Amino acid sequence: MYKETLENDVSKIKSILKIKEDEATIVKLIFEKFVDAGMGYSTIAGYLNKQGIRKPVSKNSHGTKFTDWTLIQIKRMLANPIYTGRVAFGRTRLEKVEGTENDYRRVKVDDYILSDEITHEAIISEEIFQKAQLKINEKKVTKNPKIGRGTKHLLSGILRCPMCESSMYADIVQWTV
């Protein structure tokens, strides 16, 4: 039953998605700058803004007319498989927030469903998209956010000020890269 529903959704999408040539050239430029020229998200956003290439305003923007590119938009575009001619289902899911009764947040999922067939004309090739994904995964930084941020120190509360006898504590300012 689920597969039939998925096939129906894909057939509906075939009749809906059409390429806008002016926007397709922007998508190609973004992938080219990221994969071939080695530019980062914010560098690409700055490049597009300086060149006067404005972000298309979406139909559901509720009247906002912000046309400057941001690094978040570039990052989302580079991670979206729709530009390869395939449709992704279930890229995010709702996850319950701990300690609350009815609060949920949307979380990215790595094992989403990608349509088997090409549903519409591709703007970029699968090869370029995969190169971009490899580069995105190289950029990901996985650090423990707790390292170097502890508030307790071995001598906190033991040391006393020689003048006023109040407790002293150690404070560490540490830059992380």
Domain assignment present for 168: no
Better pLDDT: 107 or 14:
107
Q: What is the CATH number of the domain that holds 56?
A: 3.90.1750.20
Mean predicted confidence (pLDDT) in 107-130:
80
Q: So what's the pLDDT on residue 78?
A: 93
Measured CA to CA, the distance from residue 96 to residue 64 in angstroms comes to 31
Domain assignment present for 76: yes
Interacting residues of 99 by C-beta distance below 8 A, sequence separation 6+? none
Q: So what's the pLDDT on residue 18?
A: 83
Tell me how many domains the chain contains: 1
Domain assignment present for 79: yes
Interacting residues of 81 by C-beta distance below 8 A, sequence separation 6+? 87, 88, 114, 129
Measured CA to CA, the distance from residue 31 to residue 127 in angstroms comes to 11
Closest CA to 89 of 2, 20, 18: 2
Domain assignment present for 10: yes
Phi, psi of 120 (to 5 degrees): -155, 175
Tell me the HSE value of 5 on the side-chain side, using a 13 A CA sphere. Answer: 3
Mean predicted confidence (pLDDT) in 135-155:
66
Measured CA to CA, the distance from residue 33 to residue 42 in angstroms comes to 11
Helix (H, G, I), strand (E, B) or coil at 167: strand
Measured CA to CA, the distance from residue 36 to residue 17 in angstroms comes to 27
Q: So what's the pLDDT on residue 81?
A: 87
Domain of residue 115, residue span = 2-139
Domain assignment present for 154: no
Domain assignment present for 31: yes
Domain assignment present for 175: no
Domain assignment present for 97: yes
Q: Tokens 């094992």 appear where?
A: 111
| CA pseudo-torsion sign 38, 42, 45, 47 | negative
